[in-house]
């Protein structure tokens, strides 16, 4: 018997000083039974970093041909492909062929470090790829996860503050690779 996804509702007020984007979003997140609160909140964090009219969540962990989030234009062409976690090189090469821009938000301190050491050099050849490593504080994001969330998100100088009425979590973004710059150390 299949276990259904757990549905989370999030009302998020975003103030992104880096992009000059300010807006409120009412989101529905489906958490796959095998997904942790931390991973779901990293997906929400990635949403905040790319928020805009065309951004949507993908179908989830069980779908190989869709990212965690993506933005499409009116013709259906993929503008941004956004994955969280530690995707394999083949998946990222396919994504780079389908989308104008590909973003990876890696998390899990030791796992992300080993993943990057293993494939970082090869990923340097993908011109439209950005890889951002998130610090251990992503574990703290799980504390903000509730079935009905009201959050504020402030983004400034590659730092993100995600907060509810009681707690705030700061996440510093570390760029490992940016488009056309190759692998960075």
Q: What is the DSSP letter of 142?
A: G
- Neighbouring residues of 9: CB distance < 8 A, sequence distance ≥ 6: 26, 27, 28, 29, 147, 148, 149
Q: State the first-to-last Cα distance of the chain, in angstroms, to the nearest integer.
A: 46
The model's pLDDT over 166-179, given as tens digits with 9 standing for 90+, comes to 999 999 999 999 98
Residue 181 has pLDDT above 70, yes or no: no
- Neighbouring residues of 30: CB distance < 8 A, sequence distance ≥ 6: 5, 6, 7, 8, 57, 60
pLDDT of residue 185: 39
Strand pairing class (21-31; 6-16): antiparallel
pLDDT of residue 14: 98
Question: CB 24: neighbour CB atoms within 10 A?
Answer: 10
Answer with the residue of higher pLDDT: 9 or 60: 9
pLDDT of residue 1: 40
The model's pLDDT over 19-76, given as tens digits with 9 standing for 90+, comes to 999 999 999 999 988 899 999 999 999 999 999 988 999 886 656 678 999 999 999 9
pLDDT of residue 61: 60
pLDDT of residue 109: 80
The model's pLDDT over 72-124, given as tens digits with 9 standing for 90+, comes to 999 999 999 999 999 999 999 999 999 999 999 999 888 899 999 999 999 98
Q: What is the 3-state secondary structure (H, E, C) of 85-120?
A: CCCCHHHHHHHHHHEEEEEEEECCHHHHHHHHHHHH
The CA dihedral of 178, 77, 57, 63, to the nearest 10 degrees, is -100
pLDDT of residue 127: 93
Closest listed residue to residue 53, CA positions, set 69, 66, 71: 71
The model's pLDDT over 114-167, given as tens digits with 9 standing for 90+, comes to 999 999 999 988 999 999 999 988 999 999 999 999 999 999 999 999 999 999
pLDDT of residue 88: 92
Closest listed residue to residue 141, CA positions, set 35, 29, 9, 45: 45
Strand pairing class (174-178; 78-84): unpaired
Q: What is the DSSP letter of 165?
A: S
pLDDT of residue 124: 87
CB 7 within 8 A of CB 30: yes
Sorted by where each starts, the structural domains of the chain and their CATH numbers stand as 36-146+169-183 (3.10.640.10)
pTM of the model: 0.92
């Amino acid at each position: 018997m299949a276990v259904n996804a757990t549905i989370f509702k999030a009302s998020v007020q975003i103030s992104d000083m880096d992009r000059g984007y300010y807006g409120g979003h009412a989101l529905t997140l489906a958490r796959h039974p095998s997904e942790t609160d931390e991973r779901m909140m990293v997906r929400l964090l990635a949403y905040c970093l790319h928020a805009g009219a065309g951004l949507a969540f993908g179908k989830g962990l069980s779908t190989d041909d869709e990212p965690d989030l993506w933005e499409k234009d009116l013709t259906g062409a993929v503008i941004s492909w956004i994955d969280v976690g530690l995707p394999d090189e083949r998946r990222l090469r396919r994504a780079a062929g389908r989308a104008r821009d590909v973003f990876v938000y890696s998390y899990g301190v030791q796992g992300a470090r080993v993943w990057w050491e293993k494939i970082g050099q090869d990923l340097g050849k993908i011109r439209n790829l950005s890889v951002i490593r998130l610090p251990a504080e992503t574990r703290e994001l799980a504390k903000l996860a509730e079935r009905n969330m009201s959050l504020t998100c402030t983004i400034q100088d590659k730092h993100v503050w995600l907060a509810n009425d009681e707690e705030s979590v700061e996440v510093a973004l570390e760029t490992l690779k940016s488009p056309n710059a190759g692998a960075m150390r």
